[in-house]
Chain A
């Protein structure tokens, strides 16, 4: 109840705020008091009142947030010309007064980017975003000077999606840098970056990027609708947006691709997908996406196609292995030992001699240990993390074997699972596979191979019913598209043969080669 009422209060407050949206007055003192009132008790906000043309000159007022604005720019190119350079010419007060606004805007301030707003709220928003608001006495607009500058991380190589061949830049936490990284790769006027502000309090910028004449308009519309309908106080990361716009939230499978790589985003946009970049998050979202995309790495498109095909085949095998390896071990050893070759089964049996637990418990112990290690490895500081990996892997495995808790073959199986789950290019899918692996293990313990197959079929039924913004999750396998087979789970033909964009995305302009006139003409 309490929470409910508070929510109501909030809404009222919110409404009031909007009702009180006021225009900027011509009297500067009104404006000053409004701004100061709004930023009451905020010590990081700087208010600066000054006169131009001497003490009795014209009054001006500027405000910005310390640490988010470029002070050098303000000092050298705004205050300097206005306060000092203005004195060097003999002020013809009457003249200046008449054309003060023009003179300030056009001949005094040496900055490239400014705009004018006439609502005090807009001015406040701008200040909060790191801009500087300049109020002039007798002028009913505020000049917003683009002075955003804050300590930001340099672009660095994304740690989760490293490639050997390919660009090394990655997204950072600043939306503008990120859009620029993508824009650099798409010099096309039809490439659009649409910005929406989400979050009633955080006012986070979200950029929707697409190429106008390629993207499927229905997808674009859906993305915009969904983003606009987000009603939350704050959006701290693209993960917030992802959870809001995904169709099914309880499935372990991500229906939106996340990436830190601008080249991946650019590639996706060129294919007709929509990319979403959220301020303060280095992870861009790509929709619609298919399971297929999670098994591809950016590198695939830069290296030789035969190698890529081989690597993709490996990934498919590795993905399957990471899903079923432990459950197969359980099913084969405790249900169908006839399937394993004679010599191998005898040596497995020999190693299992004296192990106190059934295969299932043994597998669960080892798999859980693996998960603990992984989690611990992520949390620990980086230099220690790798040590934990080695210590955990070798020492615990070895100790468990010699203590007679698990059999050596189980350690092999777990090691294979661990390695193969890391070989899946996308971390999120690897994680969901981890979850399903446990369910398969239980089914394998109940029904043997039959259970494993049942579990896999159930997973497949689930996957078949997933859609990412209208695109079936298993496309282009199901529904099948011959054209798209050229670039899929396994096969990847050289670029020369990939004449069309992925058909399953329904792009408006299908041809990638031989179509689409040059924009510059």
Chain B
């Protein structure tokens, strides 16, 4: 009895092994998509009619142009040609992957995706953008921790940029985004964050903006934000307001604020930040009080000037507080008057902490936000001044 059972097990295993292995794809048969750039295919629009019979796929308008950046493992050690680029025009993203497979010798694999670049054109088109968002969420294999950026400029250029220190272009861009931890101007966003932000705020999100460096055109930079409202691109947020955005959304980790004190530009390195909002009752409009607390170090002063002095520090502290407060106020005014949409999290706060109030204003929140009176209260603490006294 025992022998028979063992024999049957071995037989089944052999059978499964010879006929099974349905999902097995050897590592060297795969090609890893590490980055993809999704663009609108504008050339195709006129050629094909919008409504097709539906019998064949190639009747349908190929509205997307997706460029896949694939890592070439065998070339990675050498560094040359490590990044393989293929552009595909297609009806939708899933079809694009299939089309990609018709042009490469290997099986495209999504699971190691690190970077998704959405072009400006695409994000301006509401319907297509929503399609892409759904594709990202519905695909089970896609790496939802991949970073997402919006790209302005010529899509052709994006992969042409020399990756500088890195081997792959995708690593170059994600590396910049990782630096949002230490800078106050760079921002960072993953696919999950984009999806939940858009879903929970009815199509509102602020996505990092990838640009080719305007000075020389030979590198990337991320220091602006693309503001998305109602599933399409609203505006770009200038670098000067990014810090306020990060502070108000609690995304600020570490960054420098330079202040002018007695004619000296002093860098203040902030490493702890805390913000709290209170809603104050009364009046027609909403009234918010925001308290921002920062802690940090002074990194530079002037040679032979004594910094080891309580009063000096107090003064500088005062200066920092004023400066940050002014920055916050100015930026808020910009958001209220120019942008006209609540990217600063006041709606979110009201919803969570004063739900009944929020329900009253919910229908026309942006208007209420524009009219809201927001006052700031900043407290800065200088903790350290480095190893020298003077």
Interface set of A (CB-CB < 8 Å, partner B)? 250, 333-338, 342, 345-350, 352-355, 358-359, 439, 442-443, 445-448
Contact = CB atoms under 8 A, between A and B. Distances in A.
Contacts of B114: 342
Nearest to A340: B112
A335 B71 contact: no
Interface in B69-119: 71, 73-74, 76-77, 109, 111-112, 114
B26 A333 contact: yes
Contacts of B24: 334-335, 358, 445, 448
Q: Which 8 A-B pairs have the closest CB atoms?
A: A338-B111, A349-B73, A350-B73, A353-B74, A333-B27, A352-B28, A446-B16, A446-B20
A447 B77 CA distance: 32
B30 A337 contact: yes
A352 B77 CA distance: 13
B8 interface: no
Category for how many chain B residues contact A = 20 to 34
Contacts of A359: 26-27
A447 B12 CA distance: 13
Contacts of A346: 32, 71, 73, 76
Nearest to B20: A446
Given A250-B6, A338-B141, A355 B28 contact: yes
Given A353-B73, A446-B21, A342 B27 contact: no
A334 B111 contact: no
Interface string B29-58: 010101000000000000000000000000
Nearest to B25: A334
Contacts of A443: 13
A497 B24 CA distance: 52
B17 interface: yes
Interface of B: 2-3, 6, 13, 16-17, 20-21, 23-28, 30, 32, 34, 71, 73-74, 76-77, 109, 111-112, 114, 141, 143
A133 B239 CA distance: 108
Nearest to A355: B28
B165 to A, nearest CB: 14
A335 B3 CA distance: 32
B17 A349 contact: no
A124 to B, nearest CB: 42
B13 A442 contact: yes
A297 to B, nearest CB: 32
22 contacts: A333-B26, A333-B27, A334-B26, A335-B25, A337-B27, A337-B30, A337-B109, A337-B112, A338-B141, A338-B143, A342-B114, A345-B27, A345-B32, A346-B32, A352-B26, A353-B74, A354-B28, A354-B74, A358-B24, A359-B27, A445-B17, A445-B21
Nearest to A450: B23
Nearest to B143: A338
B133 to A, nearest CB: 21
The CB with the most chain A CB atoms within 10 A, among B23, B24, B73, is that of B24
